[in-house]
A and B are shown apart, each in its own frame.
Chain A
Amino acid sequence: MSAALSDLWPYLILVTVGFLPNEIWRVLGLVLARGLNEDSQVVMWSRAVATATLAGVIAKLLLFSSGSLAAIPLGVRLAAAAIGFVAFLLAKRSVFAGVAIGEVVLLAGGYLFAN
């Protein structure tokens, strides 16, 4: 492989393996959303599916954490998420409050119960 090509190789992978397989779903959404208005049933259903998919991502990230987060016991991760959520509800639905409290619980729990 020539020097120029091996320099370009990571960029070629970025476009073909990273960009295109990811972007295709956005473009499909653009094509399908043409002519739909925000109250239409397809859009309502899409919103429910998007929300549920996102919730699935959250559950997966909490249960099967990767990297350094995996070293924090599962009980601590779940307790931190639950306490953060309750703090959010108690603090007049403040996202900042919920995230801050949840992170403090994770930090404290991780410090005390690290694997």
Chain B
Amino acid sequence: MSGSLTFDSSSAAFFGGVRSAFMSVFFLVLAGTYVGLGALAHDFGLSIVWLTLSTLLVWAAPAQVILISGIGTGAALIEVALAITLSAIRLFPMVVALLPLVRTRDTRLGDLILPTHFTSVSMWVESLRLLPVLAPERRAAFCNGLSVGYMSAAIGFGFVGFYLAAGLPPLLAATLLFLTPLSFLISTARNARMMMDRLALGFGLVLGALLTMLHVDFDLMWAGIGGGTLAYVIHRAREAAT
């Protein structure tokens, strides 16, 4: 596996990233998600140009769902903005954990703007898995290629959903929606090689379920900070003990 990920140039690394995107399970996940989003945008009277631009600019499916249904149902814009910013908090620790992997001694700030904007669950999960085996100077290009691959898939399947709209039988629509939690669960488990990652996954599942059931405000933020910190503290204690 690591042998096939050696690149002679940045453009080779970029296209290697595009190829990885098309071969990963997230390609199917994005296909399912964005067929659904395309149908939603169509039903709420937004244009395909608007949908495509929202994928390019927002690049986060949960936020796009909130935005499209918010506009469509005429919700108060300040409430929509608040819901989106709460859903986006997860992007902050993801960027903090990702950029040190992408950066080398010679990387300029400008080179990090694209990987920062491209950060999303699919790209983050795959980057944390694949980047460590790449030469550091190829990682940014690979990461950008991976993201461009995912984004193209999302835009393309957004078109499919937009023009197919409403033709989906409910059971098939449910199957498409189920792709997101199922693939997030399994691919996060695959990436969890360290005990800390496994603990964070387990604590986050339990806390996320509990806090949501108890209708605690900002449930996801507390599940993340609480579960993540607990996993980190246990990891540190085990390290100190050995």
Chain A contacts to B: CB under 8 angstroms: 10-11, 13-30, 32-34, 36-38, 40, 42-69, 71-72, 77, 80-81, 84-85, 88, 93, 95-96, 98-99, 102-103, 106-107, 110-111, 114
Contacts and interface: CB of A to CB of B under 8 A. Distances in A.
Nearest to A30: B116
Interface stretch (B7-15, B157-165, B219-227): B219-227
Main secondary structure of the interface of B (DSSP, over half): helix
Interface of B: 25, 28, 36, 46-47, 50, 53-54, 57-58, 60, 62-64, 67, 70-71, 77, 80-82, 84-85, 87-101, 109, 112-113, 116-117, 119, 121, 124, 128, 170-171, 173-175, 177-190, 192, 196-197, 199-209, 211-213, 219-221, 223-229, 231-232, 235
Contact of B208 (A32, A57, A103, A107): A57
Which of B67, B87, B97, B112 has the largest number of chain A CB atoms within 10 A? B97
Given A17-B84, A60-B208, 4 more contacts: A30-B113, A53-B228, A55-B203, A63-B213
Contacts of A63: 209, 212-213
B207 A52 contact: yes
18 contacts: A16-B81, A28-B95, A30-B99, A33-B99, A42-B96, A44-B196, A46-B96, A46-B97, A48-B227, A50-B90, A55-B202, A57-B220, A60-B219, A65-B177, A68-B174, A80-B182, A95-B183, A99-B186
A101 to B, nearest CB: 10
Nearest to A28: B92
A110 B155 CA distance: 29
B97 A53 contact: no
A66 B186 CA distance: 21
A47 B97 contact: yes
Given A22-B85, A48-B196, A53 B223 contact: yes
B139 to A, nearest CB: 11
Contacts of B101: 38
B84 A18 contact: yes
B188 A68 contact: no
Given A55-B200, A56-B227, A17 B179 contact: no
Contacts of A85: 185-186, 189
